[in-house]
Structures are given as C-alpha cells and as structure tokens.
Amino acid sequence: MMPSQILEELAKGHVRPAYLLAGSEPLLRDDALAAIETSVLEGAPRDFNLDRLEVGKVTPGRLEEALDNLPVMAERRLVVLRETEGRGAKLDANWGAVIEGWLSRIDAGTPSVLVIVCAKADKRSKWVKAFKNPAALVDCEAPKKAKELGSFLAGEARRQGVILEPDAASLLADRVGPQLMLLRQEIEKASLLAGLGEPITRKHVEIAVSAVAEEPIWDLTDAIGQGRTAEAVSLLARLISQGAAPPAILGALASHFRRLVRVGHGEAVGGPPFVVRKLEQQARRYPPRRLVTCLRAIHRADVELKGASVMSSERALEQLVLGLAS
C-alpha cells in the first residue's frame, strides 16, 4: 500500500492492527507514523498506552511483552518498533519469529496496534510476507516517476490547504526533484508569497525556490563527465559558497542526470533548442551503464543527506562528486 492510502483509511476511522512502514524516505515514514499515533491514541493517556522500542536496545521478548499488555483507559494501545538506520542492529530471524507469531494471532478485536519502521524490508522474508490484510505493508520509498512526484505535490498542497497550479507543480518538480522535505518547505514558502487563499503560481515558485543556476550545473556535469575531478570539486565548493543548499544541488544533479538518461534512450525532453543540444552532447559522453551508476550514487547520497547536518551534507556531496568524476 502507499502512504496516501493509509492516510485516507485513517481519516475514515479505519485502523489496522499492524503496519510495516518500510522505505528510504523518512518524511513518508514519519507522516504515516504520526497519523497512526493520532488515530490510535486520540484521547488516551499516552504514558500507559504507547511503547517506543528500538532494535538493538531491547530484546524480541520485550516486544512480546509490550504487545501482550492491555490498554489503560483506552480502546487500543500502540507499540512502535524502529530499526536503526546505518550500521545499527537489524531485524533478524529472532525478531521475525516474534512478529510473525503475533501477526498470526491478530483479529479485529486485537487491542494492541503494532507499527514497525525501517528503511528497508526484504519482501522475501516470511515475517514481511505476514503483513497481509488486515495488516499492511506500506511502501515509503521516494517517488521515482514524474506521475508519482506529481501525486505527492498534489497531496502536500491539500495537506497545507493551498492551491498549487499545474505549471507551479511542474517547476517545483523540475527544480527540486524527489527531495520530499525540501518540496514541503518550498510549498510553504511559495504559499506565503501567494498570500492567504491565493493559488501558488509558477511566478511564486520562481521567486521562492532557491534554484541552482543552470550554467554552473552544466559546468559541474561537464567536469564530472570528462573526469576532471579537481575542477568538479572546485565547482561544487563554489556553488555552496554562493548559497546553494546541498539538497538543491543534489536535486539539480538528479534532474540533470535523469534528463541525460532520457536523451540517451532517444526520448524527447522539453526546453529551448540550445539546452536540448547541450544535453545531447553530454549524453554522448556517458555510456548507458555509467548513467545508471551515477543515478544510483545520487540516490545513495540522497539517503545520506536526509537528516544530516549542513557540514555532513556538504561532505556527502563532495564524496558523491568525487565518485561520479572518477
């Protein structure tokens, strides 16, 4: 299931007994978890009805104990189990056995609601497969297609109570890419410019969004494509010194390389003729396999940037550029 489907269910009062929020996009995971918490614990004393557990800090037996506890002055209680990202402890077979066993016993009257939050779940695992109706496996990966990104923008505009014109949404997607937290922030900024009750237009987005200028990105990708590592790193440092935010730079790189892939596949891309010619020239310098490798590296950097400090984000970008240019 998609996060938007879970939010729709919760808005109608339908709470499932168990959710697996799996995917690399923290915003989608956190939004879904917040909505589940609100629905399950509305009006209930949280101190008695909410357990937050972390893999590596507690044992599977502690999860069993939490799930067996009864609600206090409430209809349901909530148990949240998080898997630490990075090199932390993972959900192994011992955890899987407890989770699978509990899922096999749930019914409509189960008083505990289980939410598992992790960046990646192996769909071949028996415990992951056990998240079938009435439980739910929720796909929290960032949108990869333009249509999916458009759906996120439309949903985010509804959440914020603003009107986002199609041209404005298209420009946002092009400038920011699938950086969901940054997209949320840019919609908020553009709505302030538009004013209360007024639609967000393309002009508002042009003013609000701190876009990375096109020319430096061409220079950067030229240097990367020709293996001029020192120059690529220098150009990156210049972009940052000029005030470009690391997520905006990464979004611009991702957008640029996605366009190169499309050109390499013979697909039409929008833009002025000189832009299309420049894309065609660059695409010829990138073998298809290298473009795929570049996009994978950009995706890994995107995961690293989420939740990182400014200094850590800049280091991650520098490592990305070094890798792309080598």
**And the tokens for 101?**
């066993």
CA-CA-CA-CA torsion sign (272, 273, 278, 284) = positive
**179 neighbors 251 (Cβ within 8 angstroms):** yes
Per-residue model confidence as pLDDT tens digits over 94-141: 999 999 999 999 876 789 999 999 988 999 999 999 999 999 999 998
Beta partners for 259? none
Per-residue burial over 129-158, b if 16 or more Cβ lie within 10 Å, else e, is ebbeeebbbbebbbbeeeeebbebbebbbe
| Fold for the domain defined by 214-325 | Zinc Finger, Delta Prime; domain 3 (1.20.272)
Give the angle 89-95-98 at the CA atoms, nearest 5°: 165
What is the structure's pLDDT at 254? 82
DSSP letter at 132 equals -
State if pTM tops 0.85: no
Q: Distance between terminal CA atoms of the chain?
A: 39
Show me where the domains of the chain are located. Answer: 3-139, 146-208, 214-325
DSSP letter at 20 equals E
The tokens 């800090």 sit on which residue? 57
Query: How large is the angle between the packed helices 214-225 and 229-241, nearest 10 degrees?
Result: 160
Residue 223 pLDDT greater than 90, yes or no: no
What is the structure's pLDDT at 193? 83
The tokens 């991650």 sit on which residue? 316
CATH class of 146-208: mainly alpha
307 CB-near residues (< 8 Å, 6+ apart): 26
CATH 3.30.70.141 fits 3-139, yes or no: no
CA-CA distance, 144 to 122, in Å (whole number)?
19
| Out of 25-34, 141-150, 183-192, 211-220, least confident range | 211-220
What is the structure's pLDDT at 272? 54
CA-CA distance, 284 to 290, in Å (whole number)?
11
